[in-house]
Amino acid sequence: MIALDEKHHSKGHKKASIVKLAVLLLTLLTLSLVFFKDKVSSEVATNNHLNGEKSFFDKALDLSNLEKDKCPLADPLTPTFENYDLSNIVGNETFIDLAAEKLSGAIKINTSIGDQPPAPKENIDYWASFLDFHEYLEQEFPLVHKKLNLEKVNEIGLLYKWEGTDPDLKPMLFMAHQDVVPVNEKTLDQWKYPAFSGYYDKEDQMIWGRGALDCKNLLIAELHTLEVLLEQGFVPKRTILLSFGFDEESSGVHGASSLSKHLLKTLGPDSLYSIIDEGAGFSKITDKFFIAYPILNEKGRVDVKITVDGHGGHSSNPPLSGHTNIGILAKVISLMEDTGFDNQYSEKNSLWQFLDCIAKYDEDLDPAFKEVILKRDVSSHYREKLLNILSSLMEFKDLIKTSQAFDIVSGGVKANALPEDAYAVVNHRIDFGSSVKKVLERDLAMARIIANTYDYGLALEGKVIIPETANGMIKVESFGDAVEPAPISPQNDVYEIFEKTIYNTFFNGVMKDNKDDITFAVSPNSVTMNTDTIYYWDLTRNIYRFQFLEFNPKVTKSLHSVNEVIDAKHHASTIGFLYDYILNVNEYHS
């Protein structure tokens, strides 16, 4: 599980509590499972930010008052549908096996794609396995395909519509993507079971294979939920839509982009009640404290291409400055990497609400760290302390600033020929309080320093800033499609139904036989990555990136890697949550 089992005391206890929190965010971000235990404990134990002399103002602040209004809990919202039976889904062994077999079959169909797949209308053969996948869905969910309208968008995109009885109500939309990342052939012998076997181990109830966690599980869960509701005779007042893209792993330019445009054209802007797509789940912090953390916003992204154009020649006679165009490019790269972006405390970052919940309910959390979290809102001094601690942790650092990573570099064609040009591409994930424009301006400022130092011209997005010199020109331009940071979804009455449904599935489903003395909180959080929801912002403000899975290192370390796996019980719980949510919205918001 997420929480460490060992009970430490004094310094050991301090280490465990801080590391546990870092690991929790690690599972959220689905990054590497490397624990920086010694480093974290050192930060907390020796950092003078934490152990310095307290001021009178510090002593006057009562932590109990500061945490009083943080992270309020809510009561479960239980559907009253006459045929409602959550116990027939969550914890039901027969249903778990049935759901697992359906997911297993979906995994067996290899729908992996590369970085730049062709448009379906240009090369439908590339997408042949997706057509097989469509046939499988029709076979496994007969009622859905009999009762619902299915429209194919851009040949491969799937848009299901379950017409509600009240056309004045905004439809609710559920998303997932059909595609999966490829399997590296060099790793085939490292898989416990073949990557596309969809092997279901009934003994430990684990389903293995590419797409088990990202995200055929969610796609199958959404269809299975509707199949169950149809079997029970449910008739929705509010229209229900399913939208399944097919190239999310290559930015959704053919799938989600086409589907969202189609919905905007047919329904109009702000026409949806809510959207649920892939995202975070819930985690066990201690034996008595669990937390769910739906993602309410995402960082933005922009790739920036930096090109140095100059003069070539024979390598036996290099430039007088001693720097070729590749060398000048290297100067820009080095300056940018050495400078980096500043940490930011943005109110648009949902991370702070998440940390408040941890500080309030995790009894094992180091008191010094708890103090820093809770006092950040009343003291810029403590706010800076918190940023300093988070920035020292691999799992947290990119949630509090714009990141940069140089991923492509190119220049030169021959060992004895000076390169006429050289370029590099840097990927930025944009902080919640920043923008594409600000990132480009910062990169331009870095390039300007090198241009002035070595007498080069400078241009931004084709506009000349410094005229070209005898040495050449440095060009800064966005590369590919840029995405601004996502608008944060409001915590309004729509969110309240969503949140209380999570409480219901947890207490009356997952923990129904063991809920005494359990604290369960629901807190928004943020994420550094992007989902297909980037194309749907104009359709609703209520976007929740969440699937009812228990996130733990055993599962998340397999994401986009070998031995991708999901617990069949968790898969059934996802179906249970979707079942609860559709019924609750139908009853309480229709």
517 is in an annotated binding site: no
Give how many domains the chain has, as a whole number.
3
Whether the predicted pLDDT of 290 surpasses 60 = yes
278 with 195, same domain? yes
Say whether both 278 and 331 belong to one domain: no
pLDDT per residue as tens digits for the range 147-165: 999 999 999 999 999 999 9
Q: Does 8 have pLDDT greater than 90? A: no
Place of tokens 């400055």: 321
Does 284 reside within a domain? yes
In a domain, 52, yes or no: yes
Highest mean pLDDT, choosing among 20-24, 169-173, 345-349: 169-173
d(CA 570, CA 204): 12
In a shared domain, residues 380 and 409: no
Q: What is the mean pLDDT of residues 320-333?
A: 94
> Please, which pLDDT band fits residue 58 given cuts at 50, 70 and 90?
low
CA distances from 321 to 240, 317, 334, 453, 456 (A): 66, 11, 18, 11, 12
Q: How far is CA 41 from CA 16, 21, 88, 267, 396, in A?
A: 8, 12, 45, 53, 15
Identify the residue with better confidence: 42 or 319. Answer: 319
Residue 499 falls within a domain, yes or no? yes
Same domain, 378 and 415: no
pLDDT tens digits, residue range 353-386? 999 999 999 999 999 999 999 999 888 999 999 9
Residue 441 in this model has a pLDDT that exceeds 60: yes
| Percent with pLDDT over 90 in the chain | 80
User: What's the pTM?
Assistant: 0.88
Assess if residue 348 is contained within a domain: no
Phi/psi for 280 (5° steps) reads -90, 180
The residues facing 544 across adjacent strands are 276
244 and 147 fall within a common domain: yes
* 507-514 average pLDDT score: 93
| CA pair distance 30, 37, nearest whole angstrom | 18
Q: Is the per-residue pLDDT at 4 higher than 90?
A: no
In this prediction, residue 346 carries a pLDDT of 94
Q: What is the CATH number of the domain that holds 326?
A: 3.30.70.360
Q: Quick check: 61 pLDDT over 90?
A: no
The answer to whether the CB of 325 falls within 8 A of the CB of 308 is yes
Catalytic residue (one of 43, 227, 247, 248): 248
Q: What are phi and psi of 340, to 5 degrees?
A: 65, 180
Pairwise CA distance, residues 349 & 400, whole Å: 8
Looking at residue 471, its pLDDT comes to 96
What is the structure's pLDDT at 281? 95
Residue 352, in any domain of the structure: no
Question: Are residues 97 and 206 both part of a single domain?
Answer: yes
Residue 244 DSSP SS3: strand
Summarize pLDDT for 72-107 with one digit per residue, the tens: 999 999 999 999 999 999 999 999 999 999 999 999
Distance CA 544, CA 318 (A): 56
pLDDT at 32 over 80: no
Is 247 an active-site residue? no
User: Does one domain contain both 266 and 176?
Assistant: yes
Q: How far apart are alpha carbons 400 and 351 in whole angstroms?
A: 9
Domain boundary among 356, 380, 399: 399
231 known ligand binder: no
Q: Is 249 annotated as a binding residue?
A: yes
Please tell me which residue in 43, 179, 309, 499 is annotated as part of the active site: 179
Residue that terminates a domain, selected from 478, 496, 523: 478
- Per-residue pLDDT at 320: 82
CA end-to-end span of the chain, whole Å?
A: 38
Task: Return the closest-CA partner of residue 307 out of 289, 332, 290, 336.
Answer: 332
Those residues with Cβ within 8 angstroms of residue 193's Cβ, 6 or more apart along the chain or in another chain: 199, 208, 209
Domain that holds residue 375: 10-72+366-399
According to the model, what pLDDT value does residue 26 have? Answer: 44
Would 209 be classed as within a structural domain? yes
What span, in angstroms and rounded, lies between the C-alpha atoms of 346 and 434? 9
Band of the pLDDT at 514, cuts 50, 70, 90? confident
428 is in an annotated binding site: no
Establish whether 248 is a catalytic residue. Answer: yes
| The pLDDT of residue 6 | 35
Residue 18 has pLDDT above 50, yes or no: no
Across the range 13-28, mean pLDDT stands at 47
> Which residues are bridge partners to 240 per DSSP?
162, 172
**DSSP 8-state secondary structure symbol assigned to residue 543:** E
Which DSSP string do the residues of 350-366 spell out, in sequence order? THHHHHHHHHHH-TTS-
The pLDDT of residue 174 is above 70: yes
Are 414 and 474 in a shared domain? yes
Burial level of 208, CB count in 10 A (0-12/13-18/19+)? buried
In a domain, 216, yes or no: yes
pLDDT at 29: 42
b/e burial code for range 275-311 (CB count within 10 A of at least 16 → b): bbbbbbbbbbbbeebbbbbbbbbbbbbbbbbbbbbbe
Whose CA is closest to 543, among 520, 527, 555?
A: 527
**Does residue 108 sit in the same domain as residue 49?**
no
**CATH number, residue 123:** 3.40.630.10
pLDDT at residue number 275:
99
**26 and 152 together in one domain:** no
Instruction: Give the number of residues written for the chain.
Output: 590
Q: 331-341 b/e with 16+ CB inside 10 Å = b?
A: bbbeebeeeeb
- The residue out of 460, 478, 496 marking a domain boundary is 478
Same domain, 412 and 506: no
One domain for residues 275 and 333:
no
Would you say residue 15 has pLDDT above 60? Answer: no
pLDDT per residue over 223-243, tens digit each? Answer: 999 999 999 999 999 999 999
Assign 590 a pLDDT band (cuts: 50, 70, 90). Answer: confident
Is 481 annotated among the ligand-binding residues? no
User: Does 47 score more than 70 pLDDT?
Assistant: no
